[in-house]
Amino acid sequence: MAKPKIELLNKSKKPEKMSFLISDVPIEYINSLRRYIMKEVPVMAIEDVEIINNSSIIYNEVLAHRLGLVVLSTDLKTYNMKNECKCKGKGCAGCEVKMSLKEKEPGYVYASQIKSKDPKIKPVYGKTPIAKLKKGQKIELVATAVLGKGKEHSKWNPGLVYYNQMVSIDIKNKDKISKEKAEYMVKHFPEVFSLKNNKIELLKKEWNDSILYCDFANDPNIEIKRLDKYVFTVEPFGQLKAGEMIEKALDIFDSHLDEFEKKINK
Ligand SMILES: [Zn+2]
């Protein structure tokens, strides 16, 4: 296997997103990285809610569920997974954060009104609506946020991770491509094909959309080949930065390989 090549394609701040081109890596490796980021990287989310008072129209269960989905900023350096903490899962300052919410003013209750004991762990999107109160209604509760993994519940999912396989495109015989077909190609893939004097023109020799493959793989006049190149994109939900997600996923993958190695060397 050739040495993998990685090239950063873009990194945007708002919304935070990172894409890079990975070449000479089998698709199984790319998919493992995707799954490790989405399913193994821990993030904070509210897990337990103690409702002291709730006279709003929202049932306690629904209120607790909504709180669980509030995106919380995460600090992986300070906090441990509960089952890996020195308190042995009892709950301590190293594995959980207490939060509270107390509101009686009529109108929307937003995530920004949740008070956290740790200023580093707090709702990322303050405008997330949690409930709506009428005059005389109130909500009072205490919540506990813990680290968890996306494989257990999607509230602990750190973001979206996906990849597109690159394909190479070559037009074998321009004259044999009908006008209708050419128009279809330009309409659906304007970045790749264009029309010049009613003839199809190729704008890009490689493209990151394997739908092209599905559309033209059986066309004798167009040659489409899947390449060992992938555009890999990480879109964080907000708990962690894209770079932190990738770094943590690789650390965990590494530790799993170490465990595996220990087991076979026993
Ligand atoms: Zn603990």
pLDDT tens digit sequence for 222-242: 898 989 999 999 999 999 999
What local confidence, expressed as pLDDT, does residue 1 receive? 65
- Please name the CATH architecture into which domain 5-39+160-233 falls: 2-Layer Sandwich (3.30)
Residue 62's SS3 state is: helix
**Ligand 1 centroid to 96 CA: how many Å?**
7
What local confidence, expressed as pLDDT, does residue 40 receive? 97
Burial tier of 175 (Cβ tally within 10 Å: 0-12, 13-18, 19+): exposed
> What number is the average pLDDT over the span 139-167?
96
User: Mind giving me the DSSP string for 93-138?
Assistant: TTTEEEEEEEE-SSEEEEGGG-EESSTTS-BS-TT-EEEEE-TT--
**Ligand 1 centroid to 210 CA: how many Å?**
46
How far apart are alpha carbons 27 and 53 in whole angstroms?
52
Q: What percent of the chain has pLDDT over 70?
A: 100
What local confidence, expressed as pLDDT, does residue 112 receive? 97
Distances (CA, A) of 20 to 30, 209, 239, 242, 256: 12, 15, 21, 12, 25
What local confidence, expressed as pLDDT, does residue 217 receive? 80
Give yes or no for residue 11 having a pLDDT over 90. Answer: no
Question: pLDDT averaged over the chain?
Answer: 93
**Ligand 1 centroid to 50 CA: how many Å?**
19
Closest among 4, 12, 9, 77 to 44, alpha carbons compared: 77
**Ligand 1 centroid to 208 CA: how many Å?**
45
> What number is the average pLDDT over the span 143-158?
97
Domain 42-156 coded CATH 2.170.120.12: yes
40-54, 137-151, 154-168, 192-206: least confident range = 192-206
In the chain, where the domains are located: 5-39+160-233, 42-156
**Ligand 1 centroid to 146 CA: how many Å?**
10
How far apart are alpha carbons 162 and 141 in whole angstroms?
37
**Ligand 1 centroid to 144 CA: how many Å?**
12
pLDDT tens digit sequence for 78-132: 999 999 999 999 999 999 999 999 999 999 999 999 999 999 999 999 999 999 9
pLDDT tens digit sequence for 66-90: 999 999 999 999 999 999 999 999 9
